Structure 1
Amino acid sequence: MIEFHLDGRSGVAPYAQLVQQVRHALRLGMLREGDRLPTVKDVVGRLAINPNTVLKAYRELEHDGLVAARPGVGTFVTRTLADTTLAAHGPLRAELRRWLAKARRAGLDDESIEALFATTFRAAAGEGIA
């Protein structure tokens, strides 16, 4: 199951961050057809945000045909965005996992790792590498 995180400094609306995270998980195959998203109540309790924020994100995902709400049961993934070429990159994913483990052993928390990755990615993209 996906675990949402919000970055108040990103400049991206909270509902849009939730949508981005679901899309990212779908693209990487972390969420598959039939998987259940966390309940609105669970997300609200964990992130201390307004229920309407979560509902807005889930409605946008539903409008895009990625999830379907089943009243009284939950919200379920109906379509994936997995890129089949990503599956062929097992060695690259393994290297990334090793790098993440090293970063954590060096004392970096998830927020620091994400910031490091984002700045490195932006720099590489600016140099035409990414």
Structure 2
Amino acid sequence: MEEVVIEFHLDGGSGLSPYQQVVQQVRHALRLGLLREGDQLPKVKDVVARLAINPNTVLKAYRELEHAGLVVARPGVGTFVSGTLPGVAPGVLEPLRRDLRRWITKARLAGLDDEGVEALFATTFRTTATEGTA
């Protein structure tokens, strides 16, 4: 029995196509150390059944990841992580995750719904990135 390391989800309001969302989710999981070399991605048929999308959508995402050198397809076996992306150590991520959870809680207590939290974060992130400050 294979272990499922990542479960894909789709967000209709993200502005990204389903295949782009799958690619992005794999890239994020690699960057955060949630996926490692040798891990198997969900089989195409399982992603199709879970997300109710066309198999070609999943295949396109997996092909893009393969062209980027991040996964390798093994016919009849599955698709496996073969590369990685720069990230930070898990010990660095956990305190940041705790701080972010506290911030989200404060934002919700201030009256922001999920969309408001995302909007505030996204605009602040973009502003900070263009200012070159952290």
TM-score of the superposed pair, with normalisation by structure 1 = 0.75
Q: Equivalents in 2 of 1:51, 1:116: separation in Å?
A: 35
Which of residues 85, 90, 94 in structure 1 aligns to 2:98? 94
In the alignment, which residue of structure 2 is the partner of 1:50? 54
SS in 2 for 1:88: helix
Moved more, 85-94 or 40-49: 85-94
In the alignment, which residue of structure 1 is the partner of 2:21? 17
Q: Equivalents in 2 of 1:28, 1:75: separation in Å?
A: 19
Aligned length: 130
Q: Equivalents in 2 of 1:43, 1:29: separation in Å?
A: 21
Q: Give the aligned CA root-mean-square deviation in angstroms.
A: 3.1
Instruction: Quote the offset at 1:50 in angstroms.
Output: 0.3
- Whether the aligned pair in 1 keeps the contact of 2:32 and 2:88 (CA below 8 Å) is no
Matches within 5 A, 1:1-130: 1-84=5-88, 87-97=91-101, 117-118=121-122, 121-122=125-126, 125=129
Structure 1 unmatched runs, 5+: none
If you compute each CA radius of gyration, which structure gives the higher value, 1 or 2?
A: 2
- Whether the aligned pair in 2 keeps the contact of 1:29 and 1:82 (CA below 8 Å) is no
- Structure 1 57/110 Cα, relative in aligned 2: closer, same or farther at 3 Å? farther
Structure 2 unmatched runs, 5+: none
Instruction: Quote the offset at 1:3 in angstroms.
Output: 1.2
- Structure 1 109/55 Cα, relative in aligned 2: closer, same or farther at 3 Å? farther
State the percentage of identical aligned residues: 74
Instruction: Quote the offset at 1:57 in angstroms.
Output: 0.2
TM-score of the superposed pair, with normalisation by structure 2 = 0.73
Q: Equivalents in 1 of 2:11, 2:83: separation in Å?
A: 26
Moved more, 52-61 or 80-89: 80-89
